[in-house]
Structure 1
Amino acid sequence: MTTSSTAGRARQAARNSEAILTAAREVFLADPRAPISAVAERAGVGISALYRRYPGKEDLLRRLCHDGLLRFIAEAGRAAQEPDDWAAFEMFLRGVVEADVHSLTVHLAGTFTPTAEMRADAVRANDLAGALFERARPLMRPGAVLDDLTMLLEMCAAVPGAELRGRYVTLLLDGLRGGGELPGPPPNGAELNRWR
């Protein structure tokens, strides 16, 4: 086998991997109960190509959600470099909403067992988001808590289309900044924990 044919196969394998992940996101956001064969069909690859990468549906779901979690961490890390506290918080929220990582959380929570690595990354993500939230807290309405951020991100995930999500993240940011005390209690653990 020549070097060029090996490189060509590697490029094709990379394209197949990307096509599978893109298709899986589309298929499972539309129907979390969809069979894995629907992903192969949407990706335009054979089922054997999919199973070589992911032995089962749960493995594929884990990969999708872990990729989303890693994107969340990257957005938080990027925003943490911004010196202005509110601008950092806004950059983080806009980046996470634009990446649409919470759609996966909303639709796929409870459909697979998270790994120890995912749990550790979730703690890291929460710590990073918490630090950005605390930096911006003096500029927020009294009574806002970090758990409100989870619910706000999930609300944005329910909005169809990137342009509309951008509109509503702006409204949410404006609602968080300044103003009077928030009515009612913050969300409780049962309302937030979908990964049991």
Structure 2
Amino acid sequence: MTTRKDIAERNDRALLQAARDVLAEDGAHASVAAVAARAGVGIGSLYRRYKTKEELFQRLSVLSLDHWNEAAEQGLTDPDPWTGLAAFVYGCVEFGQGSLGPIAGAVEVTQEMGAKSRRGDELLDELARRAHEAGVLRRDVTAVDISLLIEQLGRSPVVDQLRKQGRDDLLPAAAEARRRLIAIALDGLRPGRDPLPGSPPGEELFTGRWSSR
């Protein structure tokens, strides 16, 4: 028997997934009306769960940070430093970790978001350190490089376009092509490549964007 609680939880999952999808397509201009329509719920249902668009996006940010940290912790349990790092990158990219980039600076960073973000930085630093010490990650690649790579790969224009067009027949092929691109990118993290251009990126590329001005 389906209870009201079951329905509320199902609607919440639908809202959060819809918010992620609409953000991927519309960026920071994503509207709550578009999110509600994508989720198949009324605008009133959305506002009963989240009082503002900012609150919705903050919740989405927390869930995204939770996934990042869980993926990193799982990667650190792998005795093979490269396999653990690669699994972390795959997991974050396929989750769409970079889809929240457009709202950086548009929402207030809560204490919970800040704490989870700092924990995520520590975990990624450890993943990179292990890989460097094992000689499986090129020395000039930093944790910030890896974060930026995940953000760049976190959106797939082809997948987004096909999903918007309702071309479910082509989505499996697009997903496979995306995995190939992730593998190509990961191969570029291996030692024995030409030096990377410029100076290593700093943390301000993340912290600076998320700070309100």
Give the alignment's TM-score, normalised by structure 2: 0.82
> Alignment partner of 1:45: what SS?
coil
Summarize the alignment of residues 127-146 of structure 1 with structure 2, pairs less than 5 Å apart.
127-137=122-132, 138-146=135-143
Q: Report if the CA contact (8 A) 1:147-1:187 is conserved.
A: yes
Go from structure 1 to structure 2 and tell me whether the alpha carbon gap of 1:121 and 1:183 turns closer, same or farther (over 3 Å shift): same
SS of the residue corresponding to residue 93 of structure 2 reads helix
Structure 1 alignment gaps of length 5 or more? none
Task: Give, in angstroms, the shift of residue 191 of structure 1.
Answer: 3.4
Over the aligned positions, Cα root-mean-square deviation in angstroms equals: 1.7
The yes-or-no answer on 1:41 pairing with 2:37 is: yes
1:118 is matched with 113
Percent identical residues: 39
Consecutive unaligned residues of structure 2, counting only runs of 5 or more, are 160-174
Q: What does residue 16 of structure 1 align with?
A: 11
1:129 is paired with a residue whose SS is helix
Question: Partners in 2 of 1:28 and 1:100 — Cα distance?
Answer: 11
Q: What SS does the aligned partner of 2:29 have?
A: coil
Distance 2:35 2:22 in 1: 6
Per the TM alignment, residue 190 of structure 1 is displaced from its structure 2 partner at its CA by 4.3
Aligned residues: 190
Which of 49, 70, 73 in structure 1 is aligned with 2:69?
A: 73
Choose the corresponding residue for 2:48, options 52, 55, 76: 52
Matched, 1:157 2:154: yes
The amino acid that maps onto 1:182 is: L
Shift of 1:168: 2.0
Once residues 80 and 204 of structure 2 are traced to their aligned partners in structure 1, the CA distance between those partners, rounded to angstroms, is 34
